[in-house]
Amino acid sequence: MEKLDRIKELVALLNKAGKSYYSEGQEIMSNYEYDALYDELKKLEEETGCVLSDSPTVNVGYEVLSELPKERHDSPMLSLDKTKDRESLRSWLKDQKGLLSWKLDGLTIVLTYENGELVKAVTRGNGQIGEIITNNARMFKNIPVTISYKGRLVLRGEAIITYSDFNRINEEIPETDAKYKNPRNLCSGSVRQLNNKITKERNVNFFAFTLVSADGVDFNNSRKCQFEWLKSQGFDVVEYKEVDKDNILDAIDWFEHTIVNNDFPSDGLVIIYDDIAYGESLGRTAKFPRNAMAFKWTDETAETTLKEIEWSASRTGLINPVAIFEPVELEGTKVSRASVHNISIMESLKLGIGDTIKVFKANMIIPQIAENITQSGTVRIPEVCPVCGGKTRISDVNDVKSLSAGMGLNDNIVFLGYRNDPQNVIQQVDSVALCSYTEGLPLTPIEAFAHGKPMIATPVGGTVEIVKNEINGVIVSPGNIDEIASSILDLACDKEKYLKLARNAEKCYYEEFSYEIFESQVLSLYENL
């Protein structure tokens, strides 16, 4: 364990030094010191067979995919039965020993190693079929890409993004509505990126919670032994405590008091029998395995008065109700607002201004309305969008009522809002429109051409230096909506024309705007000074 801890320490130190030198122009250690530490790391990796994904000894190439392939799991990944009652959990344990751990709130991933190498990573998906994200998993902050064990290893764990990274990423997004709602949603999007460079930048962490199989390894019929063995291979394992019927309540108390200081999201606890054979002998129901159970916190509630419903337009084009109420203290903090999510939930709660409501924090974090005691049902749904002023409409999708604006445009238009991954969006569209009234030298056409997408653009500023009418795109008049719409339809319907413009767009990028061309032009400029 000392060698593995030293590996993690060296990786962090060397990466910090590298970032400081190459990105910030500052040296925090001499070249001599850096080389000595690098050599020490390389030697330890050879001795242990453990190479972390972010090790400076590994040169990882980024890859952009068009889609994530899907795969059926060898065995279904079932959900866990749940309880909020501590005594029920104690009774379930009986006279057995168990391992009590955090129930991390992220995205479950299945990893497969062969001959000491990570060969496959698959998301949980619907429990039956998941998405293959192997390229992205190699970008996770703490996953070993190489381990000392050379047999076939299959394990499950949770991919998460810490609160500190979640806050950092949101701080970089200027638009309030474009910010991510919670770390789990951010993690899900990060893990499932088509461009694994973005996954790398998000600092996704992985914590193992189940060893499925490891050929030829004797774990002495103990889950704890499995956890410790995974640690010896370089994996971070979910934090756990050994429990029995005598100390389980104290252990739950410890987790409850600790959660407020955690930098990672969790939505409860998981207990599993340490005795592997005993747990597996219990079998499973149609929905749950019988060898483990989830524990959810009993939510602290408070009564308050509903002051108003704020209607918030989202980046998807929906207008969502937000309850504003008299501030109350929950889980050590004051809260005064909670999302109501959609019209269906608002109607089921029968909300009205002045109603007495009960609120709580889901998973001790997210404010929610638990109950409306008064149920006056007097809240009126706005007929006009608070942002655009357009007429609103109620749509019913899968028995969920949602409010949107724009005279039905929401059926055909997806409002993505601010995105920091335009390449992922561009590669999924047929063409790109830039309908500006003014421009300098825009980057949008260059980004579109890099992916072989023709442009529909207005002849303003430097746009005309890039987009050539009927060669790599279509030029339209600024503000002429009919002309813009007609050009979009023309490219969508005329396949031969579209393919010609797309080929020329990609050719233009590689001949005029690629990094290689830019590099040669800059060098030529300096050489001719």
So where are the chain's domains?
Answer: 1-48, 58-295, 301-405, 429-523
Would you call 401 a catalytic residue per the annotation?
no
pLDDT > 90: percent of the chain: 41
Residue 65 scores a pLDDT above 60: no
How confident is the model at residue 393, as a pLDDT? 83
Superfamily of domain 58-295: DNA ligase/mRNA capping enzyme (3.30.470.30)
**Pick from 398-407, 429-438, 480-489, 517-526: least confident:** 398-407
How confident is the model at residue 438, as a pLDDT? 85
Residue 435 scores a pLDDT above 50: yes
Measured CA to CA, the distance from residue 254 to residue 241 in angstroms comes to: 10
Q: How far is CA 492 from the centre of its chain?
A: 32
**Pick from 113-122, 137-146, 205-214, 492-501: least confident:** 492-501
> In which band, very low, low, confident or very high, does the pLDDT at 17 lie, cut at 50, 70 and 90?
confident
- Mean pLDDT, the chain, whole residue set: 85
328 half-sphere exposure, CB direction, 13 A CA radius:
24
| Cβ–Cβ under 8 Å, residues 69 and 192 | no
List Cβ<8 Å contacts ≥24 apart for 326-329: 328/302, 328/303, 328/304, 328/359, 329/302
| Cβ–Cβ under 8 Å, residues 63 and 135 | yes
For residue 234, give Cα distances in angstroms to 3, 30, 85, 278, 527.
Answer: 10, 29, 35, 28, 49
Q: 301-405: which CATH topology?
A: OB fold (Dihydrolipoamide Acetyltransferase, E2P) (2.40.50)
Measured CA to CA, the distance from residue 221 to residue 280 in angstroms comes to: 11
Which residues fall within 8 angstroms of residue 44, CB to CB, at 6 or more apart? 3, 6, 7, 10
Measured CA to CA, the distance from residue 490 to residue 433 in angstroms comes to: 13
> In which band, very low, low, confident or very high, does the pLDDT at 522 lie, cut at 50, 70 and 90?
confident
CATH number of 429-523: 3.40.50.2000
Read off the pLDDT of each residue in 321-347 and give the average, rounded to a whole number.
86
Burial (CB count within 10 angstroms: exposed 0-12, middle 13-18, buried 19+), residue 361: buried
Q: Which two tokens stand for residue 167?
A: 């806050």
pLDDT > 70: percent of the chain: 88
Measured CA to CA, the distance from residue 41 to residue 38 in angstroms comes to: 5
Superfamily of domain 1-48: Helix hairpin bin (1.10.287.610)
Question: For residue 326, how many other CB atoms are within 10 A of its CB?
Answer: 12
Where is pLDDT greater, at 111 or 167?
Answer: 111
Q: Which two tokens stand for residue 471?
A: 């060669």
How confident is the model at residue 316, as a pLDDT? 57
Residue 429 scores a pLDDT above 60: yes
Given the residues 103, 141, 179, 200, select the one marked as catalytic.
103
> Phi first, then psi: what are they for 103, rounded to 5°?
-95, 95
Of 33-37, 178-182, 381-385, 515-519, which one has max mean pLDDT? Answer: 381-385
* Tens-digit pLDDT profile for residues 245-291: 999 999 999 998 898 889 999 989 999 999 999 999 999 887 789 99
| Cβ–Cβ under 8 Å, residues 100 and 269 | yes
Residue 63 scores a pLDDT above 60: no
How confident is the model at residue 61, as a pLDDT? 46
